[in-house]
Each structure stands twice: as C-alpha cells, then as structure tokens.
Amino acid sequence: MKKIISLIFLFISILTLQAQSKSFAIKGGLAQSWLRGKELNADSFERRNGFYIGAFMDLIITEQRNVTIQPEVIFSTEGGTIVKKNSENDHSYEIDIHSNVLRIPVLVKIMPLPKFSIEGGPQITYRFSAKSLDFSNVSVKSTHNTMDFGIDLGATYHFSMPFKPAFFIQVRWTNNFLKMLDTSKIDSRIDLSESNILRSSIGQIGVGYRF
C-alpha cells in the first residue's frame, strides 16, 4: 500500500512540475453507496447514505486550458446492507457494512463548455476503518479487503470562468472492480457462497470552492 501511494504521489509531483499552471480546490457533500453481487438481485441490497470531503488540484497541460489533470484526495463514509431471505422460515438475515475510506483519483478533466466540465479516470481506494455486523450483531472486521481499484466519472458546473476563484457544483459516480468482502468469512447461516464476488459503487453530489 505504501509503495503504491508513494508512486502515485511521485507521478502527481512530476505532473505538477510540468504543468503550465495549477489551481487548488476543496469540496464536500453527500455520498450514497451500494453493493453488487452476481448471485444476488437488486432486492438483496440496501443503500447507505454518508458524506465525503476532499481536496484536489487542477494541473493545466494545454495552452487552450480546456484539458487538465485533476489529482484528488477524498475521505468518504461508505457501505451498505446485504439482505438474504431464508425461504424455509421466511427470516431475513442482514449484514450491515460500514467503512471509512481514503480515495485517490487521478482524473482527466475536459471543458467542452466555458463553465461545464466532465471528468474521468482511475482511482485507488484504501479502507482504513471497516466493520460488518451479521444478523447476530457480531462484528466481522476480517471480512473486508483493504485495497480496491475503480473508475470515476463525473461532471462539474462552475459558477465562474474556469480556474478563477469561485464555487462549483459536482456530481460523481464511482464503480469499484475488486472484491470488497470475503464472503467465506461471513456467518455460514447467511448462505453467501464464496463465488459471490461483492463489489461497491458510490454516487456523490456536492459543492466546492476553487481558490
């Protein structure tokens, strides 16, 4: 983990040195996260509402100033609930998942319009605090995988011309690719097979200010 983060910050440092100019911004807002699993349908999941706060840089790499590299650091509260019904006794078994994560996206921002931008790129997620509560209300911390990798897509409306001090509104969607939960360590009565790879997705809407 430390090596990966070090390489990311080295890459960002090189981009910062080569950028024609740069600006800084902070942001925060509401986050809604949910889980996906190939053996469970949509009715098997309940979403979790949370929040996020973060900061980023815009590294301007073109003379036209319509394309930038946007590295970010974001803290977010995420998770969800897995609901598994037992057809024999009609009981619902639940696993509540709560995690605090640090996300490091490195995005490409394109400005198709003067006050509107779209962003997309890869991100690394580090879960530094997580717990799962099974239907017996027992914490199962060992079920969480610490690292994740995904892709971010989003859009931003700027209340002023780009790269000038101003507020902005932003929406973001994140789709993670790696296995979030080791289902083999979940209580056997939940009956989630090891092949049911659970992944996470996050939607965000918030505001920010560019300095």
For 86-126, what is each residue's pLDDT tens digit? 555 555 666 777 788 899 999 999 988 888 999 999 998 88
Give the mean pLDDT of 188-210: 75
What residues are paired with 30 via a beta bridge?
51, 205
- Cβ proximity of 27 and 54 under 8 Å: yes
In a domain, 151, yes or no: yes
**Predicted local distance difference test score (pLDDT) of residue 171:** 97
Which pLDDT score, from 0 to 100, does residue 138 have? 45
As for how many domains the chain has, the answer is: 1
**Domain-embedded: residue 9:** no
In a domain, 48, yes or no: yes
**Residue 183: pLDDT band with limits 50, 70, 90:** low
* Spatial separation of the C-alpha atoms in residues 172 and 201, rounded to whole Å: 11
63 against 199, higher pLDDT: 199
Helix and strand totals (H; E) in the chain: 1, 9
Residues in Cβ contact with 20 at an 8 Å cutoff, skipping those fewer than 6 apart: 60, 61, 62, 63
Residue 197: give the domain boundaries: 22-210
69 pLDDT higher than 70? yes
Q: Is residue 138 part of a domain?
A: yes
Burial of 193 (0-12, 13-18, 19+ CB in 10 A): exposed
* Cα of 19 vs its chain's centroid, Å: 26
Distance of alpha carbon 96 from alpha carbon 41, whole angstroms: 17
Is residue 152 in some structural domain?
A: yes
| CATH code: domain of residue 191 | 2.40.160.20
The reply to whether 10 falls in a domain is no
Q: Is residue 135, in this structure, part of any structural domain at all?
A: yes
Q: Average per-residue pLDDT in the chain?
A: 77
Residue 56 pLDDT exceeds 90: yes
Q: Is 140 within a domain?
A: yes
DSSP per-residue codes, 171-204: EEEEEE-S--B-GGGS-GGG---TT--EEEEEEE
